[in-house]
Chain A
């Protein structure tokens, strides 16, 4: 089990649905990330929050909407997705954004949400 918890583990949604992915960490980390991973590909950065503020948006389509209600929670709201958005969505956290000033701040990943868009 990881210290970053993601729900749900699996999600099947139609192209007109609205759903949300949730992520929670209680390690006191101040940076949280959303990654998208397609089969046999590396994780691809979507968003970074640092101290609850959006720091990086990697030109992600607006049908993906992130939200960071507090330092422990990160949501990803989904609306009007396309079948090509089907992927494993990984949440991660680190003590500070990037490796941090202390050079000891690796990413800790959750187990991911396997999303299928029909």
Chain B
């Protein structure tokens, strides 16, 4: 059975802290791993990772994939209150996307 597990389930940090969110997956015919940020409504796309060991970066956010160990991490440095959201990862089978339960991040001033 395809499965995507995220940890921690929730996290509270202070502004300026660095956080690491984890995503492990067991997905049949794995093709890529995606990260999304969801505030009140639509999940917004962050990264799509297909190759092991290649870091993708966007500003203070970065992510990397380990296809041997079947996991990915999302790092956020110098967190801001605007980073407060649920972060979802999804495994892509080439047929559909399986979402993890998400990590709820709260950044307090």
Contacts and interface: CB of A to CB of B under 8 A. Distances in A.
Interface size of A as a range: 20 to 34
A45 interface: yes
A90 B42 CA distance: 7
B21 interface: no
Interface of A: 2, 4, 33, 40-45, 48, 55-56, 88, 90, 97-100, 103-104, 106-112
Given A103-B50, A106-B48, A110-B42, A56 B95 contact: yes
A111 B41 contact: yes
Nearest to A100: B94
25 contacts: A4-B42, A40-B104, A42-B88, A42-B101, A43-B43, A43-B99, A44-B99, A90-B42, A97-B94, A98-B31, A98-B93, A98-B96, A99-B31, A99-B32, A99-B48, A99-B92, A99-B94, A103-B31, A106-B34, A106-B45, A107-B34, A107-B43, A109-B43, A110-B42, A111-B41
